[in-house]
Structure 1
Amino acid sequence: MKTLICDCNRTQPLEPRALGEALGEALVLHNTLCRRDVGAFLSAIEGTEPVTVACTQEQRLFSELAAEAHDGRGAAVPIRFVNIRETGGWSRDAAQATPKIAALLAAARLEDPEPVPTVSYESRGRVLIIGALDAAERAAALLADTLEVTVFARGPGEAGGTQTRRWPVLSGSITGLRGWLGAFELRWRADNPIDLDLCTRCNACVAACPENAIGLDYQVDLDACRSHRACVQACSVAGAIDFTREPEEQVERFDLVLDLRPANATPTFLQHALPQGYFRATSLDAATALQLRNLVGSFEKPRFFRFDAKICAHTRNKTVGCSACVDICSAEAIRSDMARGRIEVNPHLCVGCGACTTVCPTGALGYAYPRANEQGERLRTLLSTYARAGGRDAVLLLHSQGRGQALIEELGRGARLGVMHGVPANVIPLALWHTASTGIDLWLSAMAFGARQIAVLVTDEEAPQYLDGLQAQMDVAQALLQGLGYGEGHFRLLRAQHPSALDAELQALRLARPRGPAEPARFAVAAAKRGTLELALDHLIAHAPLAAAARPEAIALPAASPLGAVAVDTERCTLCMSCVGACPAGALLDNPQAPELRFIEKNCVQCGLCVKTCPEDAVSLVPRLLTTAQRGAPRVLAQAQPWTCIRCGQPFGTARAIEAMLVRLSGHAMFQGAALERLKMCGDCRVIDLHTASDETRITDL
């Protein structure tokens, strides 16, 4: 691995020797790598080792130089780029930022995430424009040279439409619009008395209508129309107007949708994350026009999620337990499929935010790109390198690659100009595809690896439910650490829309000095969420500031906790084992040798299926963390005396369950006399008794 660092015309106080020691590589400091020292870059890419360039400002230039050096084919070795300027070198305490910069360089040297399956889209450029006719046609005129335009008129607007037929114009009442890029389906009712295919735009009907119920979009306002039918007479030659025509349901498919309806109109899609290929605006601007023009052809995106139906806690036996993923999805890509007893995720609607994987208690939904183990390796590399270079009190700043990244870069430039402090030396930024894609398992792993605080930067990109979900996860994680004696202030949501607001939030972080484990963990983050969570908890418990004798046996947690116990009312429990059959995590178990309900606490995900399944309302959830070794051992929650068959004496069921059944069925007409007695028998004896009774009846009849 070769690493190239540059102090950007001596504006960053970089220490090549200290950085090299942390990375295990001799580094040379350049002043203008993109200009006078560009030969060093060209020389580095001629070798066989991957190259890391500590500059994103001139990433395009370096990529073009690499392509030119190899006849347009690009460099023969991987080239990775990392920003150390706005994230550390340009700040008021840049002189202390060497450990942070070493950590950023080390993380940039890691291998790219493994490829994952992709989701494909195919667009031929058929665009539907919905809106007032004048605005829709202005947008159509800008797009028609590259896209196949269809307009759905929603009133004439201020000026009405053009008289010249340049593209199809639909009219009527929209009854449905759904889909995604390349696969939108429009449904509408053709209830306009004017047939726009026959209409010649002569405007005779407009002039003849005494109520002005016909606009220049050539649609009849049926609420204003008083049935004078002067328009029909005026259009007798063309015959385009027919009030007796029955409305017809129409369906048509499009690749793209531009919705120009006013902001106060009810939109077709209400979710925060709109489907790809759907654009909502009051007028067509240059940026939207460019995006629409570029969405013609074949496209792919990663399949961001993986789903393991076997451990999903959504439903069992048509009873819904956990619906956290359905509730939080801002793209409405997840739905409950009760017929199949599971959730369904539409990969074409999924935008890769990862919020579903963050709130999933079992790990049935996992983030796939990057995978949890790849993200964990990045966290461990950042924090171990930071500590090895002498860094203290590390704060991980998780932010999006979009608006979050832009805010940090603006903050760095403000610090360079002396109007802001910049990113503090102990704050390590880490870009994510989306800030909702990490949760309690990776956060606690980062704390075990040596972080002292986890800050998540959120902007107007995040849906409101994401903020609620992240805060709920943080409350659980904080309660865990506080109960173990680590104190407060480990997790924070930073809400900022402007670099000055972010600057103030980051400076406030400097005041907090929460505690962490004295010894950093070395475990590898597992692919399974629960496995990672257990590894992190084991380390945090083993190195807790409170000694085992001083810490509570169980730490109470908020209701959103994926950890906890179940409490069973033994007076009501009949040991029917319905809860055992419903449990998706193997936390509730029966005992084949005796009527017992057993429980393994570390397996419990607090999904609530056991609570909703129990016919006696005898089960309740207890969100908590058991800090003793009993967390992983089975224990008995309820037990009862067995009922013995009155015919053969073999035990079956429990005395309480059989007695409760006898009480409930004793008044039923079908369970009287011998039939009631058979309920006291085991299955085999019940069958024998039925056959015996049948034989006796036949003999009597003879």
Structure 2
Amino acid sequence: MPLKAASLGAALGETLPLHSSLCRREAASFQQAVKGSEPVVVACTQEKRLFAEIGTQTEGAVAPVRFVNIRETGGWSRDAAQAMPKIAALLAAAKLPEPEPVPTVGYASQGRLLVIGPLQQAERAAALVQDTLDVTLFTTGGPGAQDRRQLVLGGRIDGLTGWLGAFRFDWTPVNPIDLDLCTRCNACVAACPEQAIGLDYQIDLARCTGHRQCVKVCEAAGAIDFDRQAQAQSDTFDLVLDLRAQPAFAQHAPPQGYFHLPAAGEGAWGEAALLTVLKLREMVGEFEKPRFFQYKQKLCAHTRNGQVGCDACIAICSAAAISSEPSRQQVKVNPNLCVGCGACTTVCPTGALTYAYPRAPEQGLHLRTLLSTYAQAGGRDAVLLLHSQEAGRVLVEDLGRAARLGQAQGIPANVIPVGLWHTASTGLDLWLSAVAFGASQVVVLVTGEEAPQYLDGLKEQMAVAQAILHGLGYAGTHFELLQATSTPTLDAALQSLRNTRQQVPREAAKFAVAAEKRATLELALDHLAAHAPQRPEAIELPAAGSPFGSVAVDKDRCTLCMSCVGACPASALQDNPQSPQLKFIEMNCVQCGLCATTCPEDAITLQPRLLLTPQRREARVLNETQPFACVRCGKPFGTLKAIEAMLGKLSGHAMFQGAALERLKMCGDCRVIDLYSATDEAKITDA
């Protein structure tokens, strides 16, 4: 790599000696550097194991070591000579403190494996793991081996739920042959005159005419009983291997501990089967994963008063981990099913669901450090390439190696790779913040491992973010979804970014990303608007995915019943205790639609937009009317329009005639007094 130690040191504010053989002849320099407590950054990920061994051989206290890849991401590229600002940025970000630890979710597996599928294939799979796992087979048909090595179940599958260490399997034995008692002597197969019994030892009841010869020959084992009542059964398992053509779980991300591997003919399984078997053998013991999310019910716009508003998180979750709980006015996230994609936090308009691995402030600090260091080192037109830690990282590193061999151009000098646990875990708040920090473009790399709804959600969010920047006059395409599954396609796509130019703020922002999503959005929007080429009063936004907007109220239909105020989860809609008024603070509106859903007069419609005038933060009156005064005491108790509408609807009803209709014009207290007065008068008259 054509490294320039002097320029890198100047960018980082320290002297950097260049070691060309640090993991070999100059290992003593590494040992000297790690003596102490200050973290040491090693710009080589290939020799992690070797450096760890050297660390164990170092006397005294050894500092924590962090590794960063500057080779495939910058040094191995046709732009390597111009990549020093990017390399400095990567080194600076690697020096940041480690993210705060997050709570974990625990799993415990004792190795109880359920294999579902054709008996022969199920037995073959079981043979590969039975030395490690306690295997139970559930046959879906077909012949099996003559010798029985595992417990075999059969019948009708009623359900399969759960996750690693806690699967519940429900079934009903509907066949006369008890597979657990059957010795596979084949006497019943030979005795059946209708040939209704196969080598799967299940009776085809459609062909069986009732000779019952099978019962007689099976008398010793007692495995066949036509009078046995089918009773629902259930059991628990730690792991499930499903060999059926259709999986038990339809979602894109099945529960951990569940493996779907459609059965194939003899010798036709291949690499997928081998990898699955290896994973199964390793899944015995206790395991932990991060609790990827945080949920604040008070911010949630999912439901109010039995009405469902925002369900973006439920719709986008690929693991079926999020469900609705209308009775508690919230959603429920199952941490055992959550796979940490973060898509729910990306589409959540309020920030009720936030990503915790890492948290937003830590992600924001990482991006700001990358971009500020890059700019200080002389870099221009920075592009953030957000990629996953799995397939995305592999693709980026493969591209670097191809460039080293002259087979590709490699990562351009202005493209800074940023690894994420999942590419769906960032959204509007961080993307707009990145542009405010100086990024000319934010590119999200998707590699085919993502659920289809993730791509839809990311496109919607990018459309909203781009509409905001275009509305502010920033020219160019600032957000792009880059789809690549091979080194050549990634290389070509990254090279095409060279031909685009994006307009960015004249001055980079320095604000800290907040823990609250809406607070971060406000900070980013304020900075972008302050340095915008143009400043319209409002920017129209796409309806799909917009977290900003206004509401329009049809004053002819609205009776100021205030149902919308009670339904609004963000306090955007408010009443006036002193006067019949419906007020609105646009900055608070998250466009959840609960107000429109709740309104009994269908008088409310949503208007996705971003208002840029000071009125965005001020309460404005959407509708008002005269109060209606009690005809008995004169106290205001409702609105003129609401009372008139009620009188109009009930005036023809038999129960509301004469004095009863007049009582509707009274406040609650006077209505009771008048009713009892009329009752007393009636009693006196009767007497």
Q: Does the aligned pair in 2 maintain the 1:483–1:552 contact within 8 Å?
A: no
Counterpart in 1 of 2:642? 657
1:517 paired with 2:497, answer no
The 3 A distance-change label for structure 1 pair 223 and 562 is farther
Work out whether residues 50 and 77 of structure 1, in 8 Å CA contact, stay in contact via their aligned partners in 2: yes
Match of 1:145 in 2: 131
Question: How far apart are residue 311 of structure 1 and its match?
Answer: 1.3
TM-superposed CA distance for 1:508, in Å, is 1.1
- Is 1:305–1:366's contact at 8 Å kept on the other side of the alignment? yes
| CA offsets 1:639-690 (integer angstroms, 9 cap, x no match) | 1111111111122221111100111122223322222111111222222222
Q: 2:417 aligns with which of 417, 426, 429?
A: 429
Q: 1:226 to 1:423 in 2, by over 3 A?
A: farther
- How many angstroms apart in 2 are the aligned matches of 1:659 and 1:376? 55
Alpha-carbon offset, residue 552 of structure 1: 4.6
Partner in structure 2 of residue 85 of structure 1: 71
1:266 partnered with 2:237: no
Structure 2 match to 1:281: 261
Q: Secondary structure at the match of 2:149?
A: coil
Please state how far the C-alpha of 1:70 moved relative to its aligned partner.
5.8
Supply the distance in 1 between the matched residues of 2:592 and 2:314 (Cα, whole angstroms): 14
* Aligned amino acid, residue 463 of structure 1: A
Q: How many Å separate the matches in 2 of 1:211 and 1:501?
A: 61
Match of 2:151 in 1: 168
Question: Could you tell me which residue of structure 2 aligns to residue 43 of structure 1?
Answer: 32
In the alignment, does 2:182 pair up with 1:199?
Answer: yes
Aligned residue pairs, count: 679
Provide the TM-score with structure 1 as the length reference. 0.94
Q: Distance in 2 between matches of 1:493 and 1:227?
A: 65
- Retained in 2: the 8 A contact 1:335–1:344? yes
**Corresponding residue of 2:141:** 155
Q: Quote the offset at 1:96 in angstroms.
A: 0.7
Q: Which amino acid aligns with 2:167?
A: F
Task: Name the structure 1 match of 2:328.
Answer: 340
Q: Deviations over 1:233-284 (max 9, x none)?
A: 33233331122222121100000111122xxx32200000010011111347
1:598 counterpart (580, 583, 602)? 583
- What secondary structure is seen at the aligned counterpart in 1 of 2:637? strand
Corresponding position of 1:364: 352
**Distance in 1 of aligned mates of 2:229 and 2:316:** 42
The answer for the alignment partner of 1:254 in structure 2 is 237
Instruction: Write out aligned runs for 1:165-244 (5 A).
Output: 165-244=148-227
Partner of 1:8: none
Show the counterpart of 1:21: 10
Partner of 1:498: 486
Q: Which moved more, 1:666-675 or 1:469-478?
A: 666-675
Distance 1:674 1:23, change over 3 A: same
The answer to whether the 8 Å contact 2:37/2:64 transfers is no
1:463-513 Cα distance to aligned partner (Å, 9 max, x none): 000000000000000011111100231111111111111111111111111
SS state at 2:241 partner: strand
Contact 1:555 1:627 in 2 (8 A): no
Letter in 1 for 2:228: R
Residue 123 (structure 1) aligns with? 109
Give the direction of change, closer, same or farther, for the CA distance of 1:698–1:458 in structure 2 (3 Å limit).
same
Task: Work out whether 1:438 is the aligned partner of 2:426.
Answer: yes
Larger CA deviation: 680-689 vs 496-505: 680-689
- RMSD over equivalenced CA pairs, Å: 1.5
1:318 aligned to which of 306, 309, 331 = 306
After TM superposition, the structure 1 stretch with the greater mean CA deviation from structure 2, 282-291 or 243-252, is: 282-291
Q: Secondary structure at the match of 2:158?
A: strand
| Counterpart code for 2:650 | L
Spell out the pairing of 1:265-664 with structure 2 (5 A cutoff).
265-282=245-262, 283=269, 285-546=273-534, 548=535, 551-664=536-649
* AA matched with 2:150: W
1:650 to 1:182, Cα distance in 2 relative to 1, 3 A: same
Seq. identity, %: 67
Residue 30 in structure 1 maps to residue 13 in structure 2: no
Counterpart of 1:676, as a letter, is: L
Deviates further, 688-697 or 384-393: 688-697
Aligned-partner Cα distance in 2 for 1:70–1:698: 104
SS in 2 for 1:30: coil
Secondary structure of residue in 2 paired with 1:516: coil
What is the alpha-carbon distance in structure 1 between the residues aligned to residue 241 and residue 292 of structure 2? 26
1:443-465 Cα distance to aligned partner (Å, 9 max, x none): 00101000010100011210000
Q: Distance in 2 between matches of 1:213 and 1:386?
A: 76
- Give the AA of the match of 1:604: C
Mapped to 2, the partners of 1:13 and 1:677 lie a distance apart of 92
Helix, strand or coil at the partner of 1:636: strand
- What runs of 5+ residues in structure 2 fail to find an aligned partner? 263-268
Measured after TM superposition, the shift of residue 228 of structure 1 is 4.2
1:685 aligns with 2:665: no
Tell me which moved more, 140-149 or 599-608: 140-149
Task: Give the aligned partner of residue 3 of structure 1.
Answer: none
Task: List structure 1 runs of 4+ shifted beyond 6 angstroms.
Answer: none
Indicate how the Cα distance of structure 1 residues 650 and 61 shifts in structure 2: closer, same or farther if over 3 A, else same.
same
Amino acid at match of 2:203: V
Distance 2:296 2:97 in 1: 26
Cα offsets for 1:128-179 (capped at 9, x unmatched)? 11111111111111111111111111212xxx32222322111111110010
Query: In structure 1, how many angstroms separate the alpha carbons of the residues matched to 2:207 and 2:79?
Result: 70
Question: Secondary structure, in 3 states, of the residue corresponding to 2:615?
Answer: helix
In 1, Cα distance between the equivalents of 2:605 and 2:193? 70
- Native 8 Å contact 1:456 1:493 kept in 2: yes
**Offset of 1:338 from its aligned partner?**
2.2
| One-letter code aligned to 1:651 | P
Q: Please give the per-residue CA displacement for 1:195-242, whole angstroms capped at 9, x wherever unaligned.
A: 123212101122233444323221223344444434233323333112
Is the 2:464–2:541 contact (alpha carbons within 8 Å) kept by the matching residues of 1? no
Unaligned runs of 5+ in 1: 1-11
**Shift in alpha-carbon separation, 1:365–1:694, aligned structure 2, 3 A:** same
- 8 Å contact 2:43–2:68 — kept in the other structure? yes
1:391-429 Cα offsets, whole Å, 9 max, x none, are 110100000000000000000000001111111100011
Contact 1:451 1:516 in 2 (8 A): yes
Instruction: Read off the aligned partner of 1:131 and give its amino acid letter.
Output: G
- Contact persistence 2:537–2:613 (CA under 8 A): no
Mapped to 2, the partners of 1:240 and 1:530 lie a distance apart of 66
Other structure's SS at 1:661 match: helix
